[in-house]
Amino acid sequence: MAGHLSAGRRWAALAVLAASLLVVVMDMTILNVALPEMAAALSPTAAQQLWIVDIYSLVLAGLLVTMSTLGDRWGRKRMLLTGFAVFGGASLLVLAAESAPVVIAVRALLGVGGAMIMPATLSMIRSLFTDPAERAKALGIWAAVASLGAAVGPIVGGLLLEHFSWHAAFLLNVPLMAAAVLVSLFLLPEARNPRPGRWDALATALSIAGMTALVWGIKRIAKEGPADALALAALAAGLALLVWFVLRCLHSDSPLLRVRLFTVPSFTAGTLAALFTMLAMGSALLLAAQWFQLVQGWSPLQAGIGLLPMAVAATVVSPLAPVLAQRIGARTVLVGGLALSGLGFAALALAPAPLTYAPVAIFLTLLGAGMGSLAIASAIIMSGTPAEHAGSAAAIEETSYELGAVLGVAVLGSAASALYRAELPASDLAAAGLGPQGVGAAQESLGGALHVLADLGPAGAAAAFQAQEAFTHGLTLVGGIGAAIMLVSVVVVFALTPKDLDVTKGH
């Protein structure tokens, strides 16, 4: 049914899907800007503040496989509409949020809605665009919108916070989700797997518990270090549950997730390209946004604008990637995009001291251009997947994005934090006039250091400059690690992707 729609209706449907994805992705980054004001208004404990940040990705990662498979069976349009309603309804509930636990509950509900929406947008594109060439262009637009949302979020958040309270960062979703429901009811066709098979309740529980434990363990290691016993136990439990889940899927006639899709080398290449890119990018963007504000002294709105080169480059390159792939080959574009991102990280790592905005802008521009390769990665993943298994493919791709981002913050963020603490020894902070508690706060984060050193006169100013320098060195270190990660991705993806792969032809 979906494949027989007029061209105008197909592209209009894509606009709705892209707009809904934009809102969900923006919501991830708006919180980074709104968090300081939320903390001042709600006075959450340190643990509660971490849960406000983490609960969204924990719920999202845990439910991606289940929600996408449910969409294949129940109907992808129905799942998408339900996701819109849950996301909008949860955003409206923020009006009743007068304490941190309520905000945590709202963020959890947003994660449920996001898990319904994100893979459904991909699988709906697979159903709407049966022509592989058209589908490749549509996925290029999808990838561009995803990149745009990540960079636009802080700008929108900064604008809202200049004029309204932190509630506005949530309430913005309500009218947008209401409009998405109304338009989708009339515009989107229903699509589902015609042969869904039986529902595997145990596999569902294994996927939810395994992904949640894995992501939580990685996040905890990023905060507590690799020797934390609880984090290691969570990682071990998560991996064990996921191995059990994979084995169960491999031996099932109607698996919850089509794990055998990984037997296709090009599918694996597309998935790894997404994972590697997000792994390198996640922490670098977070650190860059903080560098703008805490080292350069920019406002949240200025910091959001500072990130725009990435969004502009990604928005321009992503729709062009399928056209380039037709001319020079999908493998060349995919690997070339990863190499461009690697060059961006290298530009950041090799920037002369003191670090200025110019090399950071070059880094962001090359990273955004390189992210155009993710449009080809999506096309490879979805084009090589039968329409009835689109939900599984979408879940795998979205999970690779989510895992990559979490791993990036854990691995690269931890490396930057370790260097920051090493270059800001307790003896120097004590000499500046800080007590043990102040030393701990200063070594925990640059924001904490600037706060506790603010009133200590010239000695405090000198220590604050030392902290800013340490943070900057951490950012350039992440550039070096990111360049190495992207180099590995170039080699692996080149080896896995067939030379003659054409994403404009296929299933």
Instruction: Check residue 30 and give its pLDDT.
Output: 73
Buried b (16+ CB within 10 A) or exposed e, 437-460: ebbebbbbbbbebbebbeebeeeb
Banded model confidence at residue 332, pLDDT cuts 50, 70, 90 = confident
Q: Is 274 or 244 the better-scoring residue by pLDDT?
A: 244
Tens of pLDDT, residues 59-115:
887 888 888 878 877 788 888 899 999 999 998 888 887 888 888 898 889 989 988
Question: Does some domain include residue 417?
Answer: yes
How much is the average pLDDT of 410-428?
82
Tens of pLDDT, residues 20-65:
888 877 776 677 667 667 777 777 776 677 677 778 877 887 888 8
Question: Does some domain include residue 352?
Answer: yes
Instruction: Check residue 287 and give its pLDDT.
Output: 82
Same domain, 229 and 309: no
Same domain, 391 and 342: yes
Question: Does some domain include residue 458?
Answer: no
Instruction: Check residue 507 and give its pLDDT.
Output: 44
Residue 402 is which amino acid? E
Q: Give the domain range for residue 375.
A: 2-197+254-421+472-496
Which CATH number does the domain housing residue 145 bear?
1.20.1250.20
Question: Does some domain include residue 456?
Answer: no
Instruction: Check residue 343 and give its pLDDT.
Output: 94
Question: Does some domain include residue 33?
Answer: yes
Say if residues 271 and 258 touch (Cβ distance below 8 Å).
Answer: no
Question: Does some domain include residue 34?
Answer: yes
The DSSP code sequence of 205-258 is HHHHHHHHHHHHHHHHHHHH-TT-HHHHHHHHHHHHHHHHHHHHHHT-SS-SS-
Tens of pLDDT, residues 211-254:
888 888 887 877 777 788 898 999 999 999 989 988 988 888 77
* Whole-structure pTM value: 0.80
Instruction: Check residue 151 and give its pLDDT.
Output: 67
Same domain, 282 and 188: yes
Lowest mean pLDDT among 210-219, 335-344, 465-474: 210-219
Tens of pLDDT, residues 346-394:
999 999 988 999 999 999 999 888 877 777 787 777 766 666 666 677 7
Buried b (16+ CB within 10 A) or exposed e, 214-245: bbbbbbbbbbeeeeeeebeebbebbeebbebb
Banded model confidence at residue 491, pLDDT cuts 50, 70, 90 = very high
What domain count does the chain have?
2
Tens of pLDDT, residues 194-215:
666 677 788 888 888 888 888 8
Rounded Cα distance, 242 and 410, in Å: 20
Same domain, 261 and 239: no
Banded model confidence at residue 134, pLDDT cuts 50, 70, 90 = confident
The DSSP code sequence of 153-211 is HHHHHHHHHHHS-TTHHHHTHHHHHHHHHHHHHHHPPP---S------HHHHHHHHHHH
Question: Does some domain include residue 507?
Answer: no
Question: Does some domain include residue 432?
Answer: no
